[in-house]
Amino acid sequence: MRKQVIEYTSPLDALISLTKQLCNYEIKYHTDSADFFAQYQQGKTGDDEDAMDWASNYRHYLALRQELESKLRNVA
């Protein structure tokens, strides 16, 4: 299956989109993304497409959140 590439105009737009995607996985699997990711890193989850996408999205979410928090700290 071919992945669609989406470009965002700002890191905040990307963060919002990733948050929505993570929420969809959380609802589907009845698991918090942070809990899933901890299990994933320990090799306790499968390596199916959903797990790989979820982990990738969560890594991206964490990086964007850190970037935005850093920018906000530097504004003051």
Please indicate, yes or no, if residue 68 is contained in any of the structural domains: yes
Whether residue 4 is contained in a domain is answered as no
Q: Domain count of the chain?
A: 1
- pLDDT surpasses 70 at 4: no
With respect to residue 7, please indicate whether it lies within any of the assigned structural domains. no
- Of the candidates 21, 7, 3, 9, which has an alpha carbon nearest to the alpha carbon of residue 58? 21
Say if 6 falls within a structural domain.
no
Q: Quick check: is 1 in a domain?
A: no
Statement: residue 2 has pLDDT above 70: no
Q: Is residue 5 part of a domain?
A: no
Q: Which domain holds residue 68?
A: 12-75
10-64 pLDDT per residue, tens: 888 999 999 999 999 999 999 999 999 999 999 999 889 999 999 999 999 999 9
Model pTM score: 0.85
